[in-house]
Structure 1
Amino acid sequence: MTCQLTADCLSEILEYLEEDKLTLHSCLLVNRLWCKISVRILWRNIWNFKKQKRPLRVASSILSTLIACLPNESKELLHKNNIFILPPTPKPPLFNYSAFCKVLSIYEIDKIVYSIRDKLTIETLLSDRISLITNEIIKMFTSQISSLKKLDYYYNYYCYHVNFSFDNFPGARDLLELCCESNLSSDFFYQLSQVCHNLQSISINIDNNDVSNELKELISLQNNLKNIALSAFDGSWADIIPFLTKHSDSITKLHLYSDEDNLPLSFIDLFSNLQEIIFSFPNVFEIFENFEEFEDFNREFIDFKKLQYANFSKLQILKIPFHCPKVEYVIKFLENNGKNLKKLYISRSNRDLSLSIAKFCPNIKSLYIIFKNGELDILKTIFISCQYLESVKILCGVKHLNKKEVLETIAKYSPNNFCELKIHSSSYSYVSSEVLESFFISWKNRTPKNLLTLIMIKGDYYTDLSMENMKIIEKYENLGIIKFETKWYDEEEKEEKFHYYF
């Protein structure tokens, strides 16, 4: 007799596959129960399809499926306006897909509708037709989603007029994460503040210092705010600070993004329970001809002069993925806060700064710092001083360390817990098959034995992986010595550096 899993048991098992889309898609074909549970998981957040192959085709499939799920009155309204979008199949949808969504992105809805603009005839009415489709889809989501977890409402050049209301949106009461522009209508923030008091994460793009009283009130009314991300590329977050400090005891993550170096930073000292800080200050690099000039450029970040003396006893993650404040300020900051750091990410090359990591950050587990050519001794010092280090990302190229030196140093000096090496090529950087195999043999003979995850990040440059090198890599993968990956970009770095575009 065949033993069948209960729905609850099967659901709990498939939850572990949430990030494995390929396997989840295979589960759709088992039977109706497996299909229904897999669909629920796949449709929680359907907006990350850009990571998949053929994203435009996927976007078109999502849109046609959503159109097929629209209520009859919405379909009739579209037909009256000569808008005809074919469903994915002639048959009715198997499920009410919109009800499975937990993440609602106004930006992505607008974008996928905009992507089929060439199919909407009569150019003079294009804007109205896109707006009509978008609003009918949003209206369906607000009536069908029973428990919304995340709302993205960013305005950009895709967006047309959107009618968004919380009057018939009971699922918004469960909202945990809000990502939005500061210049959305006051009515939007007012309505949201009436129904939602349990936001844990807020990300705001501040535009032209346009921060309404309703937005400030929304922030003030939250009961358990933990994560704050502020982007100010055409404005300042100064006006919103007093309303954030009300949550100074509960906020544990703070991400600040700006191209200005004179914005207030010392207020961060008020958030004594911070566990993660990201300072992302881009935009100066384009005035320089090369990266080395950019590295040596000193921006003021006047308020960081005060912040260097702050003490965050719970700080575990510090990331500065773009330009860094003055080195002496950062070193002092690490002296005060480096002891508890587990993850440090700084896009800066400076000998004193790198040595300060070995001195002040003994418990670090994950590290990215830029080493110039000839600074191999600093990497060795860090390995010897930071015995809990598990992962390191290293820039290799003409002006930085070469791969042969890095691999030899990793094999000889990396701590016992070390298990992940990311190599990012800043320029053409060759490693011979002899060097590669010698490294793998050394790693195989290490005690204790750890599976090493080796990630080659190509960036804008070609990383030499000859057929012979790939055979060696495959050999040691089969032996269980390494796990190998190649990436065009470090996904974590890309997310941090380009957060403000989304």
Structure 2
Amino acid sequence: MSQLSADCLNEIFEYLEEDRVALHSCLLVNRLWCEISVRILWRNVWNFKYTVPMRFRMDVPAQILNTLITCLPNESKDLLNKNGIIIATTAWKPSLFNYASYCKFLSIREIYLMIRYALETRQLITSHCLDFDEYLLLQEMLKMFMRQISSLKSLDYYVGISRIIKLPFTSFPGAKDCMTNLSILSCDSNICSEFFYQLSQICHNVQTLTIIIENVVSNGLTDLISMQRNLKHVTLIAAYGSEKGWVRLITSLSKIPLNLTKLEIFGIDAKIPLICLNTFIHLRQLTLSFDDTNAFIDFHNLQHVKYPQLRILKFQYAFPKVEMLIKFLEINGKDLTQLYVGCHDNLLNLTVAKLCPNLKKFCSRFMRNELETLTTVFNGCQSLESLKLKCGAGNLKESEMLDVVSKYSPKNFHELKIDNDTESELSPVELESFFINWMDRTPHQPISFILVGDRFISSYRNMEVIENYVRLGVVKKFGTEMYDES
């Protein structure tokens, strides 16, 4: 392996981008391996702390911050020292790499939190006002990033902290070159308009935009959106008490000619003008995640709208009145490949079996007396490959559900996700019976077995059964999700 060229190693290491622990171990092999892996690790270094064991996570931010301080130009270090922020002598030594230049993802909030923690815990010695020192150190960090990053891909500007909202890093030297090719932007709606105005002069190729909607929406935000030539994916997340801001923003968006393919809206429980969504007829994915059915009062304005390219529809919690949703599915259900419904309705499940024959992924609830409905869904959705179900409490009983899955699921079905509301009642004998029945299917293909939470595994013996059938190749993949990733 040590004789492989840098290009070959780079291609190999790219596959390890999500496995940061393995990628980190490559740093220790030799200098060439170190040079290649460090570029990938620092591409989005802010998420690194979430990939290490919990006991080490508090150490990672300090190590990242200390490394970045070594990369600061001497004039920045001098400025910090003159203002009473004492930089350790080791930070004056040249860093092994120009780590800042490798960053393609920039999180203002993560940098700020690292700085604040270091100052509060006296990892950085200071003799002045904490707020001023935070501002000054963040300013010098951002000046360095604007100069050193040749082409930033993603900017995360969730701040929620007024004193750093006004930091004018978009006008720092190098900012234009740094952010010209920005394709992912995450921000609050109430950041000062000047930030959005400056960004709209620099960035015209944002493809993915995530906005936390506050009650105030800066004037420059809609101007920034209107300047984008390739905006495809918008996510709107409503803060509490933001109904006024939501109405203003979504109304403005509906007036801009956008060819969005993915729209996600989260967290609104008040009446909102869903009629504005009828302008986004190019959507391939629509997610409406509301806690309260009141948010869907306006859905009657959408029930007759045709979305010819819609393939993925998600209602993660509440959903519209069933009669309105059925009308919507009568028009758009045939082409859906994924449907997620967080709440229960037997009539809706039966309707899905009739109106959504091309579903490949389905998430829903079935009550304990609705095994026949589950069978009907399998018979009506012959393209189904993946199913996520609730079990326990009043939902389906695990053993009965597994029996229906093994007997009636379509031939291409290969993934089962189980989310238990209560402790599992499944015995090892019942679990093994399911795997034996699965082995007898024709055609046979391995199944992926995903558990949401850990309640399904009620005993060590159940784990032994699963591990045995992993070894036999009956279970292709076994894993857990500690929250609803759908």
Q: TM-score, normalised by structure 1?
A: 0.88
- 1:486 pairs, out of 474, 480, 486, with 480
Q: Is the 8 A contact 1:315 1:337 kept in 2?
A: yes
Question: Which amino acid is 1:49 matched to?
Answer: F
Task: State the shift of 1:200 in Å.
Answer: 1.1
SS at match of 1:26: helix
Aligned-pair Cα RMSD in Å: 2.3
- 1:148 pairs, out of 139, 145, 152, with 152
2:143 is the counterpart of 1:139:
yes
- Shift of the 162–213 alpha-carbon distance from structure 1 to 2, 3 Å rule, reads closer
Tell which deviates more after alignment, 320-329 or 298-307: 298-307
Q: Is the 8 A contact 2:457 2:463 kept in 1?
A: no
- Which residue is 2:222 aligned to? 216
- Which residue is 1:289 aligned to? none
Task: State the shift of 1:26 in Å.
Answer: 2.6
Residues 6-25 of structure 1, C-alpha deviations (whole Å, 9 max, x = no match): 32233223222222223212
Residues 315-365 of structure 1, C-alpha deviations (whole Å, 9 max, x = no match): 011111122121221121112111111111111101111111111111111
SS at match of 1:152: strand
- Which residue is 2:23 aligned to? 24
Aligned partners of 1:331 and 1:126: how far apart in 2?
A: 57
Matches for 1:308-323 after TM superposition, within 5 Å: 308-323=303-318
- Shift of the 111–73 alpha-carbon distance from structure 1 to 2, 3 Å rule, reads same
Aligned partners of 1:369 and 1:87: how far apart in 2?
A: 59
Aligned partners of 1:164 and 1:49: how far apart in 2?
A: 27
Tell which deviates more after alignment, 87-96 or 16-25: 87-96
- Which residue is 1:195 aligned to? 202
SS at match of 2:479: strand
Tell which deviates more after alignment, 365-374 or 117-126: 117-126
The aligned length equals: 474
- 1:364 pairs, out of 359, 368, 389, with 359
Aligned partners of 2:246 and 2:165: how far apart in 1?
A: 26
2:267 is the counterpart of 1:272:
no
SS at match of 1:166: helix
Question: Which amino acid is 2:460 matched to?
Answer: M
Q: Percent identity?
A: 47
Q: Is the 8 A contact 1:451 1:481 kept in 2?
A: yes
Aligned partners of 1:173 and 1:101: how far apart in 2?
A: 15
- Which residue is 1:373 aligned to? 368
Question: Which amino acid is 1:96 matched to?
Answer: N
Matches for 1:80-479 after TM superposition, within 5 Å: 80-84=82-86, 92-116=94-118, 117-119=120-122, 125-156=129-160, 160=164, 163-167=167-171, 168=173, 169=175, 170-208=177-215, 210-233=216-239, 234=242, 235-241=244-250, 243-245=252-254, 248=257, 250-282=259-291, 284=292, 298-299=293-294, 301-458=296-453, 462-479=455-472
Aligned partners of 2:379 and 2:225: how far apart in 1?
A: 45
Aligned partners of 1:148 and 1:225: how far apart in 2?
A: 17
Q: Is the 8 A contact 1:275 1:317 kept in 2?
A: yes
Q: Is the 8 A contact 2:222 2:252 kept in 1?
A: yes
Q: Is the 8 A contact 1:107 1:159 kept in 2?
A: no
Q: Give structure 1 stretches of 5+ with no counterpart.
A: 285-297, 494-502
Q: Is the 8 A contact 1:219 1:243 kept in 2?
A: no
SS at match of 2:129: helix
Task: State the shift of 1:76 in Å.
Answer: 2.3
Aligned partners of 1:377 and 1:274: how far apart in 2?
A: 33
SS at match of 1:303: helix
Q: Is the 8 A contact 1:111 1:158 kept in 2?
A: no
Tell which deviates more after alignment, 73-82 or 241-250: 241-250
Question: Which amino acid is 2:131 matched to?
Answer: S
Tell which deviates more after alignment, 298-307 or 39-48: 298-307
Q: Is the 8 A contact 1:138 1:164 kept in 2?
A: no
Q: TM-score, normalised by structure 2?
A: 0.91
Residues 298-323 of structure 1, C-alpha deviations (whole Å, 9 max, x = no match): 52622211111111111011111122
Aligned partners of 1:351 and 1:479: how far apart in 2?
A: 37
- Which residue is 2:3 aligned to? 4
Tell which deviates more after alignment, 37-46 or 304-313: 37-46
Task: State the shift of 1:417 in Å.
Answer: 1.0
Question: Which amino acid is 1:94 matched to?
Answer: L
Tell which deviates more after alignment, 76-85 or 247-256: 76-85
Aligned partners of 2:421 and 2:41: how far apart in 1?
A: 37
- Which residue is 1:290 aligned to? none
Residues 137-193 of structure 1, C-alpha deviations (whole Å, 9 max, x = no match): 222111111111111111235974652322321110000111111111111111111
Tell which deviates more after alignment, 58-67 or 74-83: 74-83
Q: Is the 8 A contact 2:231 2:258 kept in 1?
A: no
Aligned partners of 1:13 and 1:114: how far apart in 2?
A: 37
Question: Which amino acid is 1:279 matched to?
Answer: L
Question: Which amino acid is 2:282 matched to?
Answer: N
Question: Which amino acid is 2:472 matched to?
Answer: L
Aligned partners of 2:100 and 2:307: how far apart in 1?
A: 43
Aligned partners of 2:70 and 2:48: how far apart in 1?
A: 19
Aligned partners of 1:32 and 1:246: how far apart in 2?
A: 54
- Shift of the 153–180 alpha-carbon distance from structure 1 to 2, 3 Å rule, reads same
- Shift of the 190–318 alpha-carbon distance from structure 1 to 2, 3 Å rule, reads same
Q: Is the 8 A contact 2:84 2:128 kept in 1?
A: no
Aligned partners of 1:400 and 1:50: how far apart in 2?
A: 37
Aligned partners of 2:165 and 2:295: how far apart in 1?
A: 40
- Shift of the 333–136 alpha-carbon distance from structure 1 to 2, 3 Å rule, reads same
Question: Which amino acid is 2:464 matched to?
Answer: K
Task: State the shift of 1:488 in Å.
Answer: 2.0
Aligned partners of 1:97 and 1:386: how far apart in 2?
A: 51
Aligned partners of 1:84 and 1:143: how far apart in 2?
A: 24
Question: Which amino acid is 2:355 matched to?
Answer: F
Q: Give structure 2 stretches of 5+ with no counterpart.
A: none
Q: Is the 8 A contact 1:64 1:87 kept in 2?
A: no
- Which residue is 2:36 aligned to? 37
- Shift of the 86–347 alpha-carbon distance from structure 1 to 2, 3 Å rule, reads farther
